[in-house]
């Protein structure tokens, strides 16, 4: 059965967003999420230096199912497929939405390619089927916006 994702905006103020994994895989997703909230917890045995000291909650340890307590959204962003699958299974059991980074088949939500300017957000999604094309479209839209801004000045 084909996976289908509904585009929507979810209210996340005062909600815990948990990233299990603290490397480059997590860093890419965190860059988008941090545009909307600083209420980010990173849990990993090692956290990439670029993610340290940014005001996020840092938990330097290995994942345990109890780490999901209080999480609203979870990103399983480790480089271990078995751990990511375990996080997904545990999150589903608790009714928590989970994104298994780079695996739409295991995810209950996916993240679109995003442009944010002031109060406006544009999101481009391919239903998780062609991430490269989503990013290309987002970048083309961003270029058009920049051209319009230049004309207005």
CA 153, CA 83: separation in Å to the nearest integer?
51
Q: Are strands 71-76 and 16-20 parallel, antiparallel or unpaired?
A: parallel
**What is the pLDDT at residue 16?**
96
Confidence of residue 153 (pLDDT cuts 50, 70, 90): low
Kindly report the pTM of this predicted structure. 0.90
Looking at the chain, the whole-number percentage of residues with pLDDT higher than 70 is: 98
Partner residues linked to 114 by β-bridges:
123
Q: Which DSSP category does 88 fall into?
A: H
Q: What is the CA radius of gyration of the chain?
A: 16
Q: What is the CATH number of domain 16-106?
A: 3.40.50.720
CB-side exposure of 115: number of CA atoms within 13 Å?
A: 16
CA 97, CA 23: separation in Å to the nearest integer?
21
The secondary structure element, H or E, covering residue 76 is strand 71-76
Question: pLDDT tens for residues 7-60?
Answer: 889 999 999 999 999 999 999 999 999 999 999 999 999 999 999 999 999 999
* Tokens 């959204």 belong to residue: 73
H helix runs in the chain, sequence order? 24-33, 81-94, 131-152
Measure CA 65 to chain center: 19
């Amino acid at each position: 059965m084909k996976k289908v994702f509904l585009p929507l905006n979810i209210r996340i103020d005062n909600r815990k967003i948990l990233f299990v994994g603290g490397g480059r895989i997590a860093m890419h997703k965190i860059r988008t999420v941090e545009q909307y909230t600083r209420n980010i917890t990173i849990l990993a045995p090692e956290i990439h230096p670029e993610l340290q000291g940014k005001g996020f909650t840092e938990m330097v340890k290995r994942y345990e199912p109890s780490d999901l307590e209080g999480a609203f959204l979870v990103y399983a962003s480790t480089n271990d497929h078995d751990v990511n699958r375990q996080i997904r299974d545990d999150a589903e059991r608790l009714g928590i939405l989970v994104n298994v980074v780079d695996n739409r088949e295991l995810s209950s939500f996916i993240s679109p390619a995003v442009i944010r300017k002031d109060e406006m957000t544009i999101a481009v999604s391919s239903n998780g089927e062609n991430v490269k094309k989503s990013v290309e479209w987002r970048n083309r839209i961003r270029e058009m916006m920049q051209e319009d801004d230049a004309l207005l000045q």
